[in-house]
Structure 1
Amino acid sequence: MKKIFTLLFFSLTLVGFAQQTQSVNAIPPGYYNTATGTGYTLKTQLFNIINGHNDRTYSGLYTTYLTSDIDMYYENNDTMLDMYTENPTGSECEFVYGGGLQDDGTLGNNECERYNREHLVPQSYFGNGVTPMYSDAHFVIPSDKHVNAQRGDFPFGRVNNATNTYSNGSKRGLNLNSGYSAGFTSTVFEPIDEFKGDIARMLLYFVTRYEDQLASFYSTSNSLSKVMFDGSTGQSFSPTFLNILLTWNQQDPVSQREIDRNNAIYVRQSNRNPYIDNNTYVTTVWGLPLGTSTFESLNAVSLYPNPSNNGIVTISTEIALDDIEIITINGQILQQIKRPTLENNTYTIGNLPKGFYFIKLSSNNDSVTKKVLVN
C-alpha cells in the first residue's frame, strides 16, 4: 500500500516518533554500554551482550507468541500475526491461539488449515532440535503450516517469475539474478514488502547471537539455505544474500510491531535483537549494501509523473529515506517529511499546488535534489 503524505504528515510523524521512543525505553539502562566498536568488533560485542539467553523450550514458544505475535497493528483483533499470510490491505487467513487449529500432525495441504512454528533459519542448517536455536523466538515465528512447508529450506531472495504465489503475495520462484539480488539463480522464497525488513533483522540477529557456532553450522549443514551463509564469524553471509538483507533492512525500516515484539521476547528470554533497538548497528557492522553508496542510490531515485497534472508525485526508490523536503523555486520549504515509511519501494507526495519544485531527498547524511513540475 502506498502512503500519501499531506501537509499534516510532519506533525503526525512527530507524534509517532514520540510513541516509538517511549517504547524503545524498555531497553534496560546500560544494556548496550559495551557496544562501542565498529565493524565485526561491534558484532562480537553485541554477541557478548545477547549471548546466554533463557531457553523457554519449543512448546514454550506458543506462550511467548501470546504477547510477541498478536495482531494489534492491522486488523487489531488479537489474532495470530503471521508474516506469511498477513495481508496489510485486504482479507486474509486468521488463526486464534488455542482455537483448535494448532498443528496436530493433520491437514496443512492448503492455507488456513493449521498453524505451527517456522524457523527462518531452517533447523536443517544448525541441527534438528538443537537448543537454544530450536526455540529462540527472535527468529522462530508463528506461521501458516502450508506456507511454512512451501518455503521449506529455500533461502530468502527476490523472485523473478513466481512459480507459487500465496494469499498475501508471498511467493516462491527462481531468484532475480540482477540488481541488488545478483549472483544467485536457484529457487528462493520472497516475503511481502511489509515484512522484508523484519525478516532481514531476524537473520542478522541469528548470525550475531550464534556467532561462535557459525563455522560449525556451515561445515555440517546440507540445508538448501546454506547458500545464504559463508561460515565466517564476521561477515557471516555470502555476498549475494548479505546484499539482499542489507537492502531489505533499508527498504523496510523498523516498525512499532518489531519494537513491541522485541520487548515481549525480552521479558521471556532476557535478550534482545540489537538491530531493532538501534538500527544503525546494521550499517556500523556490515556497511551499506555491497557495491553501492547512499549517494549513488539516491541518484537512482525516480520521480513520476513529471510533470504531474493532479498534484501527486510518486518517489520510486530501493533505499529508505530519512527526510523528504519539498522546496519552492524561491527557496521556501513547503513541506518536510521526516522518517517517512517506504512501502512497495515508493513514497507518494500529495496535495501539491501548481508550480515548479525542488524535491530534496536525504538518507544517511547524503542528499540529492530532484526537480518536478506540477501543472
Structure 2
Amino acid sequence: MKHFYTLLITLITLTASAQVPAGYYDYATGSGYTLKTQLFKIINNVDDPEINNTVEEFQTVESYNSLDGFNATYELDFYYEVNGNTTILDMYSENPSGADPYNYTPVVDECGNFNGEGVCYNKEHVIPQSVFSSQLPMYSDAHHLIPTDGRVNGFRSNFPFGNVDNSQLVSQSGISNPTQNGSKLGEYLDLGYPVDYNGDVFEPIDEFKGDIARIYFYFVTRYEDQVSNWSSYAMFNGSSDQVLAEPFLSVLIDWHLNDPVSQKEIDRNNNIYYNHQNNRNPFVDHPEYVALIWNTTPDTEAPSDVTDLAASNPTDNTIDLSWTAATDNIAVSSYNIYVDGVNTFNTSNTTFTVPGLTADTNYCFTVKAKDTSGNESNFSNQACEMTTNNGSSGGDIDIFFSEYIEGSGTNKVLEIANFTGAAVDMSIYTLKLSANGNANWSTTYTFPNNTTINNQGVYVIANGGSIVCTSEYDDINNAITSFNGNDAIGLFKNDILIDILGDFNSSANYAQNTTLVRKPEIDRPTTTFDINEWNSFASNNCDDLGTHIQTLDVEDFTVTDIKLYPNPVKGNEVTIVSNEDISVEVYDLLGKKVSEQNITLEHQTLDISGLSKGMYIIRLNSSKGSISKKLIRQ
C-alpha cells in the first residue's frame, strides 16, 4: 500500500495509498528455473491462462525515442547531488561521495556529436543491442536502457561486464581509463571463480554494480523464451534456463550481494512500472529471487529466532502482536504465529492483529520465522494478553467503505480503508451484494488469501472492464462490482454486517453514475447508510482513488508546545523544541520508516543527513500522545 500524509494548519491529516500491486508475485511460488519461468510469465506481454488469478501485467512496448522524455523526467539525481533534481544521474560519471566531474541538463545536453568524455549523454543498452539484432521490445525496454555519457558508452561498447585487472587497462584516445568517476575497461581479473575468461571487460564503480547485475537478471528472465536464439555473447551460454555463462554469473551474483538494492533502483522500478511500460524488475522487488533461481546449493540454514514479541491493544475479539524481524542467510519469507501452542496464522509482516478471539480470555502467543526454503527458527519469547469484555456489538472503530465509483459502462470500483491503528487481516471479512432491492444477499466476495490492509492503508476492488485509475487496483472481481446505483453492498466481519452502501431491501437509487468519497471526519463503519457521510462527485471521478484522508482535531492529541524549525530545511539538522523527551520517527511518502531518533531536553537536534531531498512526515511521540508534522528537505 502507498501512504501519503498531509498536515493542515489546524488538523492532523492521515492519508494512505498503494505501491507494488497486491498479488503481483502470487504466482512466483517455485524455486530454481521454475521460479524464473514463473517470473517470466508475470512480467512479459503475453497472456498466460496459468496465472489468470494474479495481477499479471502486460508489458507496454514503448518506442526507443520515448525514453528521452522518461529520462528527462525520472532519471534525475535525487540521491547524491545538492541540486541533483535538475541533472541526469549517469552511473558512469556519478561521484557518490563528492562533486561529479561533470553534470548533464536533461534534453539540453543530450547527444549530439562528441569527441571526449563530459560532452553529452545518450542511452546505453546494458545488454548490447547487437546481441538481439536491435529488435523490439528488447531495443526499447527501459529496464536495461540507462542514460550515460556518450563517450563512455562508446568506450564500453559491446564488452561484457566483469572485474578489471588494473595493470591491464585498455588504452583509447579521447578518454581516460579509468574514466573520471572510476569506471574502467581492461583485461578480465581472475578472482578464483571455477571458470575463467580471457578477454576485456567493463567494470562500473562499486556503487552501481548491483544495479547492473539486477538489470541482467531481469533481462534474461524477461526474454528467456528468445535468448537462446540470439547471436553469440560472452555473458550468455546459449541456454534459456541458466542463460548467464560462468564466470559472469558468479560475478553478477557477487555484485548483487555486495551492492544491495538502493532507493534509486526502487524509485526507477516504480517509475518504469507506473509511468512507462507497465512491468517490473522482480529482482529489485525481491532480491532473494537471485539465490532461489541460480544458487544450486540447498539452503539448510534456519532464520534467527524472533525477538521482542509483544502483545497489546486487546479488544473483545482481537489482540495486536509485534516483534523484531528475524534475519536469514537468504531471506525470511514469513512468520508462523502460534496461539496457545497451535500454529494458527502466517504473515510476512512483523505486526499482526489476531482475529476471532473470545472476550475476557487470556491468550499466549509465540512466533517462528520461516525462510524461502522452508527452514524454520526456534520459538520466540512468549507474550500473553487478555481480551476485554466490553460487550459492544457495533459502531466500534473498524475498517469501512471509503470510496465508491459507479461510472459509465463497467467503471465500477470499491475502496476500503483501515484507520484502526494496526494492520488488519482480511480473512474474517467479506463483501456481499444485494441487487435491485432483493431481500437476500445474493453475491459474496472473499478477499484473496493473506490479504492485509496496513494501518492508514486502503484496498481497491474493481470490475475487470474498469478503465479509470487502473494502477490503484488491488483485486479484480466482476461479481461484487456488478452493482448499479440502487444495489446495496455490505461489509461483513465474521459474517456480521458492519458497514453498508445503500439501503438493504430497497431499490431506490442512492448513487447512480456517481462517485462517493467518505468524508474525512468519519472514523468508523455504520450499518445504516447515511448519504451525509459522503462527498459526491461526478461519474468516473477517481482523483482520490488509492488514498483516503481521515482528519482528526489537534485537540485530540495532548502533546503540547512542540516546535520544528527550519522547515523547509537545506542543511543536515532540524531543531525540535519540546517540553519533554520525545522519540521521532521519519517516514517517506510511501509510508516507509526511514529514520528513528530520540530527542532529549539536553539535545534537541534531529539529524537528517541521511535523507535525500523531498517531503517527509515527522511523527513526534511523547508519553502524552503523538503528533505528525510535514518536513521538506531542499
Could you tell me the TM-score, scaled by structure 1's length?
0.67
Shift in alpha-carbon separation, 1:247–1:293, aligned structure 2, 3 A: farther
Deviation of 1:216 after TM superposition, in Å, equals: 1.0
Number of equivalences: 268
Does the alignment pair 1:210 with 2:203? no
| Cross-structure match for 1:96 | 105
Letter in 2 for 1:131: L
| Cross-structure match for 2:295 | 287
- Equivalent residue of 1:206, what SS? helix
Does the alignment pair 1:149 with 2:154? yes
| Separation of aligned partners in 2, 1:151 and 1:36 | 37
| Separation of aligned partners in 2, 1:68 and 1:276 | 17
Residues 159 and 171, structure 1, Cα contact 8 Å, conserved in 2: yes
User: Which runs of 5 or more residues in structure 2 are unaligned?
Assistant: 1-15, 46-58, 170-176, 302-328, 332-372, 376-634
Shift in alpha-carbon separation, 1:212–1:112, aligned structure 2, 3 A: same
1:185-205 deviation line (CA, Å, top 9, x unaligned): 210000000000000000110
1:152-199 deviation line (CA, Å, top 9, x unaligned): 000000001252210110001000123348511210000000000000
Does the alignment pair 1:43 with 2:36? yes
Does the alignment pair 1:227 with 2:234? yes
User: Which runs of 5 or more residues in structure 1 are unaligned?
Assistant: 1-22, 296-319, 323-363, 366-375
Query: 1:168-183 to 2 correspondence within 5 Å?
Result: 168-180=181-193, 183=196
| Separation of aligned partners in 2, 1:25 and 1:194 | 29
Does the alignment pair 1:189 with 2:196? no
| Cross-structure match for 1:356 | none
| Separation of aligned partners in 2, 1:70 and 1:294 | 42
Residues 176 and 185, structure 1, Cα contact 8 Å, conserved in 2: no
| Cross-structure match for 1:120 | 126
Deviation of 1:88 after TM superposition, in Å, equals: 0.4
Deviation of 1:254 after TM superposition, in Å, equals: 0.4
Q: 2:26 aligns with which of 33, 36, 39?
A: 33
Letter in 2 for 1:47: F
Q: More strand per residue: 1 or 2?
A: 2
Query: 1:42-61 to 2 correspondence within 5 Å?
Result: 42-52=35-45, 53-61=59-67
Could you tell me the TM-score, scaled by structure 2's length?
0.40
- Equivalent residue of 1:228, what SS? coil
Residues 128 and 158, structure 2, Cα contact 8 Å, conserved in 1: yes
| Cross-structure match for 1:72 | 78
Shift in alpha-carbon separation, 1:190–1:38, aligned structure 2, 3 A: same
Deviation of 1:90 after TM superposition, in Å, equals: 2.2
| Separation of aligned partners in 2, 1:166 and 1:190 | 11
- Equivalent residue of 2:225, what SS? helix
Shift in alpha-carbon separation, 1:180–1:26, aligned structure 2, 3 A: farther
Residues 68 and 107, structure 2, Cα contact 8 Å, conserved in 1: no
- Equivalent residue of 1:168, what SS? coil
| Cross-structure match for 2:283 | 275
Deviation of 1:28 after TM superposition, in Å, equals: 0.7
Letter in 2 for 1:150: F
Shift in alpha-carbon separation, 1:24–1:68, aligned structure 2, 3 A: farther
Following superposition, which runs of at least 4 residues in structure 1 exceed 6 angstroms of deviation?
Answer: 291-295
Q: More helix per residue: 1 or 2?
A: 1
- Equivalent residue of 1:117, what SS? strand
Q: Highest Rg: 1 or 2?
A: 2
| Separation of aligned partners in 2, 1:242 and 1:293 | 19
| Separation of aligned partners in 2, 1:151 and 1:277 | 28
Deviation of 1:26 after TM superposition, in Å, equals: 1.4
1:25-44 deviation line (CA, Å, top 9, x unaligned): 61111111111111000000
Query: Percent identity of the aligned residues?
Result: 49
| Separation of aligned partners in 2, 1:70 and 1:241 | 29
1:313-339 deviation line (CA, Å, top 9, x unaligned): xxxxxxx999xxxxxxxxxxxxxxxxx
| Separation of aligned partners in 1, 2:194 and 2:188 | 7
| Separation of aligned partners in 2, 1:293 and 1:148 | 39
Deviation of 1:98 after TM superposition, in Å, equals: 1.7
Shift in alpha-carbon separation, 1:151–1:183, aligned structure 2, 3 A: same
Shift in alpha-carbon separation, 1:24–1:82, aligned structure 2, 3 A: farther
| Separation of aligned partners in 2, 1:24 and 1:172 | 45
- Equivalent residue of 1:87, what SS? coil
Shift in alpha-carbon separation, 1:292–1:47, aligned structure 2, 3 A: closer
Shift in alpha-carbon separation, 1:180–1:248, aligned structure 2, 3 A: farther
